[in-house]
Chain A
Amino acid sequence: MDIYVFDGTLEGLLTAVFECYKRKSEAVKLVSTLHYVPDVFKEAFTVVSDDLKAKRVWGGLAKKLDAVWMQSIFKSFLSEQPATFQDLFEFIRYIIDNPAGAEANFGNKYVLEVSQMSQKVHREKHRMEAFIRFQKTGDGIFYAHIDPDFNVLPLLIKHFKNRYADQKWIIYDLRRKYGLFYDLDKVEEITFDFTTEMSPSLNALPQAVLDPTEELYATLWKDYFRSVNIPARKNMKLHIRHVPKRYWKYLSEKQE
Chain B
Amino acid sequence: MFERIREKLGILADAAKYDVSCSSSGSNRKNENKGLGDAEGTGICHTYTEDGRCVSLLKILLTNHCIFDCAFCVSRRSNDIKRAAFTVDEVVELTMNFYRRNYIEGLFLSSGIFKNADYTMERLVRIVKKLRNEERFNGYIHLKTIPGASEELLKEAGLYADRMSINLEMPTESGLKLLAPDKSHEDVKKPLEYIRQNIEQLSNEKALIKSVPKFVPAGQSTQMVIGATPESDKEIMHTANAFYKNFSLKRVYYSGYIPISDDSRLPVIGSQPPLIRENRLYQTDWLMRFYGFDVKEILNDAHPNLDVDIDPKLSWALRNLEQFPVDVNTADYHMILRVPGIGVGSALKIVQARKFGRLYKDQLKKIGLSFNKAKHFIRYADSPLQLRDYEAGHIKGVILAESSSKYLKTAKNQLSLF
Which A residue sits closest to B6, measured CB to CB? A223
**In the bound complex, what is the Cα–Cα distance between A91 and B35 (angstroms)?**
42
* Number of chain A interface residues as a range: 35 or more
Which among B45, B46, B102 is the interface contact of A144 at CB below 8 angstroms? B102
**Interchain nearest-CB distance for A146 vs B (Å):** 11
B window 116-153: CB within 8 A of A: 136
Given contacts A162-B30, A162-B31, A165-B34, contact A132 B102 (CB under 8 A): yes
Given contacts A166-B136, A220-B9, contact A133 B355 (CB under 8 A): no
Q: A136 contacts the other chain (Cβ, under 8 Å)?
A: yes
Given contacts A105-B353, A107-B356, A132-B102, contact A230 B48 (CB under 8 A): no
Q: B314 contacts the other chain (Cβ, under 8 Å)?
A: no
**Interchain nearest-CB distance for A247 vs B (Å):** 10
Q: A36 contacts the other chain (Cβ, under 8 Å)?
A: no
Contact A220 B94 (CB under 8 A): yes
User: Given the complex, which residues of B lie within 8 Å of A112, measured CB to CB?
Assistant: 366-367
Size of interface on B: residues with Cβ below 8 Å to A: 59
Contact B37 A163 (CB under 8 A): yes
Q: A142 contacts the other chain (Cβ, under 8 Å)?
A: yes
User: Given the complex, which residues of A lie within 8 Å of B259, measured CB to CB?
Assistant: 232
Contact A219 B13 (CB under 8 A): no
Which among B38, B55, B97, B136 is the interface contact of A217 at CB below 8 angstroms? B97
Contact B102 A230 (CB under 8 A): no
Contact B366 A230 (CB under 8 A): no
Q: A108 contacts the other chain (Cβ, under 8 Å)?
A: yes
Task: Write out, one digit per residue, whether chain A residues 211-252 have a CB within 8 A of any chain B CB (1) or not (0).
Answer: 001001111110111011111111111110111000000010
Given contacts A112-B366, A130-B44, A162-B30, contact A225 B35 (CB under 8 A): no
**In the bound complex, what is the Cα–Cα distance between A127 and B17 (angstroms)?**
24
Contact A235 B52 (CB under 8 A): yes
User: Given the complex, which residues of B lie within 8 Å of A51, measured CB to CB?
Assistant: none
**In the bound complex, what is the Cα–Cα distance between A228 and B367 (angstroms)?**
38
Q: A106 contacts the other chain (Cβ, under 8 Å)?
A: yes
Q: B352 contacts the other chain (Cβ, under 8 Å)?
A: yes
Which among B18, B52, B53, B355 is the interface contact of A104 at CB below 8 angstroms? B355
Q: B65 contacts the other chain (Cβ, under 8 Å)?
A: no
Q: B10 contacts the other chain (Cβ, under 8 Å)?
A: yes
B window 45-85: CB within 8 A of A: 45-55, 58-59
**In the bound complex, what is the Cα–Cα distance between A131 and B36 (angstroms)?**
18
Contact A104 B31 (CB under 8 A): no
Contact A242 B45 (CB under 8 A): yes
Contact B97 A213 (CB under 8 A): yes
Which B residue sits closest to A226, measured CB to CB? B10
User: Given the complex, which residues of A lie within 8 Å of B35, measured CB to CB?
Assistant: 165-166
Contact A233 B273 (CB under 8 A): yes
Contact B51 A239 (CB under 8 A): yes
Which among B2, B45, B366 is the interface contact of A216 at CB below 8 angstroms? B2
**In the bound complex, what is the Cα–Cα distance between A211 and B18 (angstroms)?**
34
Contact A243 B367 (CB under 8 A): no
**Interchain nearest-CB distance for B308 vs A (Å):** 17
Contact B44 A164 (CB under 8 A): no
Q: B275 contacts the other chain (Cβ, under 8 Å)?
A: yes
**In the bound complex, what is the Cα–Cα distance between A142 and B103 (angstroms)?**
13
Task: Write out, one digit per residue, whether chain A residues 50-61 have a CB within 8 A of any chain B CB (1) or not (0).
Answer: 000000000000
Contact B353 A225 (CB under 8 A): no
**Interchain nearest-CB distance for B130 vs A (Å):** 16
User: Given the complex, which residues of A lie within 8 Å of B349, measured CB to CB?
Assistant: 106
Given contacts A112-B367, A242-B54, contact A232 B17 (CB under 8 A): no
Which among B98, B102, B258 is the interface contact of A233 at CB below 8 angstroms? B258
Contact B44 A126 (CB under 8 A): yes
User: Given the complex, which residues of B lie within 8 Å of A126, measured CB to CB?
Assistant: 44
Q: A9 contacts the other chain (Cβ, under 8 Å)?
A: no
Q: A81 contacts the other chain (Cβ, under 8 Å)?
A: no
Q: B14 contacts the other chain (Cβ, under 8 Å)?
A: yes
Given contacts A163-B38, A227-B13, contact A221 B52 (CB under 8 A): no
Contact B101 A228 (CB under 8 A): no
**In the bound complex, what is the Cα–Cα distance between A254 and B55 (angstroms)?**
13
Q: A129 contacts the other chain (Cβ, under 8 Å)?
A: yes
Which A residue sits closest to B101, measured CB to CB? A134
Which B residue sits closest to A171, measured CB to CB? B102
User: Given the complex, which residues of B lie within 8 Å of A231, measured CB to CB?
Assistant: 50-51
A106, A166, A242, A243: which has the most chain B beta carbons within 10 Å? A106
| Beyond A136-B100, A227-B13, 5 additional pairs, beta carbon < 8 A | A106-B352, A107-B360, A163-B38, A166-B36, A243-B47
A selection of 5 A-B contacts at a CB cut-off of 8 Å is: A106-B349, A106-B353, A107-B353, A166-B136, A253-B47
Footprint of B on A, CB under 8 Å? Answer: 102, 104-109, 112, 126, 129-136, 142, 144, 162-167, 213, 216-221, 223-225, 227-239, 241-243, 251, 253-254
